Amino acid sequence: MTLWLTGLSGAGKSTVAYALEGRFRDAGISALVLDGDAVRAGLCRDLGFTPEDRAESARRVAEVARLLNEAGVVAICALISPFAVDRKRARDIIGAQRFIEIFVDTPLAVCAERDTKGLYAMARKGALGSLTGVHQAYEPPAAPDLRVTTVDQTVAQSADRVFAAVQPRLAPNLGFAATD
Ligand SMILES: Nc1ncnc2c1ncn2[C@@H]1O[C@H](COP(=O)(O)OP(=O)(O)OP(=O)(O)O)[C@@H](O)[C@H]1O
Ligand SMILES: [Mg+2]
């Protein structure tokens, strides 16, 4: 399966994604995080933050996730992926059966307060022109497979909630599925 975490910068996608990766590995399941920052340092280093480049970045990540899934590896994608059309395309590439859209639903005010990368401060100073939620729209998923909150929750609680929700879908891999 592919877990596709979408949300604003600072929402907690990477944090939850890496915690989840640990949960899967502890359960003996191969999982790999495809994180926006890491991807932008390599696979997508030729791309910027225009809507077109964001679309291409999401497409490439989806193609890699598909390959991982074909190899039996859980892909955990942590990408702002602000546009619904790009997430829809990712679902089409990966296959609806395998694609789990997870909305890391942290309000903009909380993300700006956290400002883990200093991006919101830079935006306030006018030093940045493409920040999602400030200069560019964030289109929240209308019907995410899962919504996770990170407000008043520890990282462990947020990750546990996602892991518990997707665990039933892993049953066939673990050999627990009823035979039919
Ligand atoms: N329950 C929680 N789940 C996830 N993160 C949390 C939670 N509570 C607090 N945080 C904090 O919120 C911040 C989230 O930052 P993180 O880098 O994960 O965001 P992101 O969504 O990956 O942003 P970006 O799109 O810029 O990469 C971290 O500092 C993390 O410690
Ligand atoms: Mg991140």
Mean pLDDT rounded to a whole number for the chain: 94
Closest ligand 1 atom, residue 150 Cα: 1
| Per-residue pLDDT, 170 | 80
Domain ranges of the chain: 2-166
Contact between 38 and 135 under an 8 Å Cβ cutoff? The reply is no
In words, the CATH class of domain 2-166 is alpha beta
Please check the confidence at residue 169 and state whether its pLDDT lies above 60.
yes
Section 18-47 average pLDDT = 97
pLDDT tens digit sequence for 60-93: 999 999 999 999 999 999 999 999 999 999 999 9
Residue 136: CB within 6 Å of ligand 1? no
Please check the confidence at residue 28 and state whether its pLDDT lies above 70.
yes
The neighbourhood of ligand 2, an ion, using CB within 5 A, equals 14
Please check the confidence at residue 115 and state whether its pLDDT lies above 70.
yes
Tell me how far apart the alpha carbons of residues 20 and 37 are, in angstroms, rounded to a whole number: 17
What end-to-end distance do the CA atoms of the chain give, in Å? 21
| Model-wide pTM > 0.75 | yes
| Per-residue pLDDT, 172 | 57
Tell me how far apart the alpha carbons of residues 170 and 63 are, in angstroms, rounded to a whole number: 21
Tell me how far apart the alpha carbons of residues 146 and 144 are, in angstroms, rounded to a whole number: 5
